[in-house]
Each structure stands twice: as C-alpha cells, then as structure tokens.
Amino acid sequence: MQQQDEMDTGNLKIGVVGAGSWGTALANLLASKGYAIDLWVFEKDIKDQIQQSGENSVFLPDIKLSSNLHPSNDLAGVVSGKDMVLVVVPSHVMRETTLLMAGHLAKDAIVVSASKGIENNTHLTMTGVMQETLVEIPSHHLAVLSGPSFAREVARNLPTVVTAASKDSATVDLVQQVMATPYFRVYTSDDVTGVQLGGSLKNVIAIAAGVIDGLELGLNTRAALITRGMTEIRRLGLKMGANPRTFTGLAGFGDLILTCTGHLSRNHTVGKKIGQGEKVNDILGQMRMVAEGVKTAKSVYNLSRKLGVEMPISHETYRILYEDLSPREAVMRLMTRELKQELDED
C-alpha cells in the first residue's frame, strides 16, 4: 500500500466483515461516501435480501442501503486484495472469523476492529486476538474504532463522534480520513488498550444500569452507578497500561453514558428485563442481536480477579448473570460495603 500522503483515498479497496447492525451501518456509511464496499454476510438469507431489496431488515430495518454496497457469503473473497478491512463481528467469534481470514489478506492491509469485547478464555482485547490470528499483519497496521455510536443513528446520518486508535500515526490518520463524513466525526488516539477497554467494559456497566432502571430505583442510583462504574473501568485500564485520560473521552465516559441511558442499548435492555424479573437465558433466547456485556462480564470478572483489581459493580453484575444472584440483593451488597474515600490514590 502507498503511504497515506501519496495515496488518493478515494481509490481504496475496502471490505467489511460482519453484517449485524453496526457492520451494516459502517459498510453503508463508506458506500454512501463513494467507496465500493464488499460486505461479508454470515447468513445466506440476509445476503440475498440485501441484494434483492437493498435492505437488511433483520439487523438494520427501514434503512435503504447504498448501491455501492455488495454483500457476499464468501469471506476470503471479501477480504482478499483489500487495502483496508473492517472487522465487525461479535467478540466471541472474532478468533474464529479472523483465523478464516488469515492467508487471504494483503500483507500491507490495514485491519480495523469495530467490535467491542474481551475474549473469555484469554482475556485478550480484539486487537490482541488479531495479533495471534493474523500473524501476517504487523501490529502497526491494526486499528480500532470505538465511541458513543448506536448503529441506527449512524445509519440515519445523525451527527456522531467516535475515536479511532492505533499505535501508528499513519495508520490511524488514514482510518480517520477514510471514515470521516460531515455527520460522522472521527478523532484519533494512540491508546489502543484504553479505547478497547472503554468500549468493552461499558457494556457490563450498562447491564447494571438497566437492572437499576428495571428495579425502578431512580435517577440518583443510576447516576451513582455510572460514575462508580467508570471508576472500575479506569482501575482496570490503569493496571493494563492505558492512558487514564482516555476514560474521560469518547471511548470512555461518552460511550458509557450512551449505553447506560439510551433506549437503543441492547445491554441496558437486557439489564432492565432482569430487573423486572425475567431470567437471563429467556431474555437472550428472544434476541437475535448480541448483547456483548453478557460475555464480557465473565471476562472482566476473571481478569480483574487475576490482576487484583477491585471492581464490585462488575462482580455483582457477573453474579446476577451467572450465579442467579437477586438484583435487589446485589444492590444491597454494594450499598453496604465498607465505607471509604471516593478517589483512588492513583
């Protein structure tokens, strides 16, 4: 690939892997910008529907998709020969999907993760997984995209602001230039770890916020939970070498506030139904879309214990999800913990 300052970005070949709501929205954003976008779709019926009607009615209904968007069930074909590939699959299939991509990518391709999660068994971020599966791609060609961004609002061209991060300035500057539109503003960062942790851990806190709303405990309680939830995210981030300032930005508080309060949040919806008395397995059985926070809660619980990081809200959320702890008991356990000062020393 030519260096960014030599490249006409309008000629970039781009593939998008994953046709859920977020993958479809990002693919359509780029297609509407004029790029010819190959979109890998796992389900044949959805691929056929996009081809025939120009709509993904399962994951992004009532949004007319650009004619520059070309769906395909052929993963190798979608990623082969591309200058840039966006990977937008659920975190629990990131390893499987990228292993299938390996060997088909151009050696100088830039690979962007727009998935939010932490792998259960390894506790790796999504770029951490990619470094193990896409060994042909150097780490400085990996990037992430995160921030407060509901897919439906992006698809409706409502003003949205996000963060792109990479360890390499040329890589992240290119991602910024390619992704930005008058309604989709992109800031850059070099804190790959912090941006990914903020985007992943906020889903766990959003489930907890939904529980609070389901229990009808009020706005005071929700505000406190969001604030103390960010304290937990920051603690883990500092332990893992992230820049603490990241958590005051778009991929931190920005995404946390959106996901904990927005009615379009799948994680908040799961938590709210739990607070209203529904069982986790019943809730998930009714959903075709993925609520990332359910799986991430397990990763965070085990990772924080391994690293010795205090994360009481995240731990109680894990117990609600996996140990059938009563939501009201979880709240009481949090409220009656040992009293202490607010600010961490670090």
d(CA 215, CA 205): 15
Could you say which of 33, 47, 82, 202 is catalytic? 202
Q: Is 34 left (phi over 0), alpha (psi -120 to 50) or beta?
A: left
Task: Please tell me whether residue 81 adopts helix, strand or coil conformation.
Answer: coil
Q: Give 306-328 as a DSSP string.
A: HHT---HHHHHHHHHHHS---HH
* Dist. CA 224–CA 271, nearest whole Å: 16
Q: CA-CA distance, 134 to 143, in Å (whole number)?
A: 13
Closest-CA residue to 61 (of 294, 280, 264): 264
Q: How far apart are CA 41 and CA 18, in angstroms?
A: 6
Q: Are 266 and 207 in contact (CB under 8 A)?
A: no
202 is a catalytic site residue? yes
CA 138 to chain centre: 22
3-state secondary structure at position 220: helix
Please state, in angstroms and rounded to a whole number, the distance separating the CA atoms of residues 300 and 88.
Answer: 21
Tokens of 124: 């790796």
Q: Which amino acid is at 6?
A: E
- Structural tokens at position 175: 């991602």
Amino acid symbol at 79:
V
Handedness of CA 257, 261, 263, 268 (dihedral sign): positive
Residues annotated catalytic, as ranges: 202
